[in-house]
Structure 1
Amino acid sequence: MYSFLVGLMLVLSVLIIIAVMMQPSKQNSAASAFTGGADQLFGKQKARGFEAFMQKATAVLGFAWVINAIVLAIISSK
């Protein structure tokens, strides 16, 4: 059981990295990093399509990763 969960942790880790790397960039230019991004804060549009799917997939994978980490910690402490 422990080795299965460790393998699952590795797979989830790789999938999270892939999901984060596939998300579209939110900055238009390097200059927007220095301006504070107030225009992005107040002009935020709701994510749709591929961007919304990737946000949800990243959240679900992250949640599964945290639960798996907690279960692994409990099992390894026994």
Structure 2
Amino acid sequence: MDLLKAIVQIVYIAICIVLTVIVLKQEGKTAGLSGALTGATETYWNKNKGRSKEGWLAKTTMLLAAGFIVLSVVLNLNW
């Protein structure tokens, strides 16, 4: 049981590190705000954001955050 807990802790630490790096790589939301104020909300970039690097980073962030929450609960159980 101790080996399983150690493996889960290693995966948890890896997720924490990767999640931190991915969040720091993302652009801020202020770029979208200035575009909304100037009226340039419908651009090619905004329409195809899901296929871009930013879209991939956003999806990966959500998946890693879900894994972080699940592993936090699992590690908090009394085994």
TM over 0.5: yes
Q: Deviations over 1:10-61 (max 9, x none)?
A: 1000000011011122214xxxxxxxx5937xx4845331111000000000
How many matched pairs? Answer: 67
Aligned structure 1 segments of 4 or more residues deviating by more than 2 angstroms: 37-40, 43-48
Aligned identity (percent) is 15
After superposition, residues 1-78 of structure 1 pair within 5 angstroms as: 1-28=4-31, 37=33, 39=36, 43=41, 45=46, 47-48=49-50, 49-74=52-77, 77-78=78-79
Where does structure 1 lack aligned partners over 5 or more consecutive residues? 29-36
Which of 1 and 2 has higher RCO (CA within 8 Å, sep 6+)? 1
Residue 12 of structure 1 aligns to a residue whose secondary structure is helix
Q: Give me the TM-score of the superposition, normalised by structure 2.
A: 0.69
Instruction: Indicate the structure with greater helix content.
Output: 2
